[in-house]
């Protein structure tokens, strides 16, 4: 279960509104970005949510990867999004691909402010200990 889990909380996104409200368009970009990064999409679910009094509804885009998963949630009324990329690193190191995927999606949303986290999950051997570490710098 050794792997890398990256998260990003994106605020004041300057992207086109399409990326915050169009589940089909966002899903297509997520699928393509994952494949371009060298990861292997094997399933997907893209869900739109209804508008509220605060504005248009957001979306959730989930791409199941052979290596684990990508999930994006948007809040158009806040011009915000959260990103979650998790890759298993058993058998191969998929960490560079996870960072490339995360960097691509952050660029898509064009946040004015972001909070990035990276967590090394699991251990390769019983003697290894999981550790938190600083996020990848572009």
Active-site residue identified among 68, 69, 94, 99: 68
Catalytic, out of 2, 11, 73, 136: 73
- The residue from 69, 88, 94, 99 that is catalytic is 88
Locate all alpha helices (DSSP H) within 18-137, ordered by sequence: 18-21, 23-36, 95-109
68 a catalytic residue: yes
Convert 79-117 to b/e letters by CB count within 10 Å (16 or more is b).
bbbebbbbbbbeeeebbebbbbbbbbbbebbebeebebe
Q: Which sequence positions are flagged as catalytic?
A: 68, 73, 88
């Amino acid at each position: 279960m050794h792997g890398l889990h990256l998260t990003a909380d994106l605020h004041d996104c300057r992207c086109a509104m399409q990326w915050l409200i169009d589940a089909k368009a966002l899903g297509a970009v997520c699928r393509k970005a994952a494949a371009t990064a060298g990861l292997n999409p094997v399933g997907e679910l893209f869900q739109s949510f209804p508008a509220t009094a605060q504005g248009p509804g957001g979306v959730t885009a989930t791409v199941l990867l052979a290596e684990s998963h990508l999930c994006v949630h948007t809040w158009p009324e806040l011009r915000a999004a959260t990103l979650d990329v998790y890759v298993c690193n058993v058998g191969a190191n998929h960490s560079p691909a996870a960072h490339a995927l995360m960097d691509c999606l952050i660029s898509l949303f064009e946040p004015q402010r972001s909070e990035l986290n990276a967590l090394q999950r699991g251990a390769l051997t019983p003697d290894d200990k999981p550790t938190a570490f600083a996020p990848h710098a572009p």
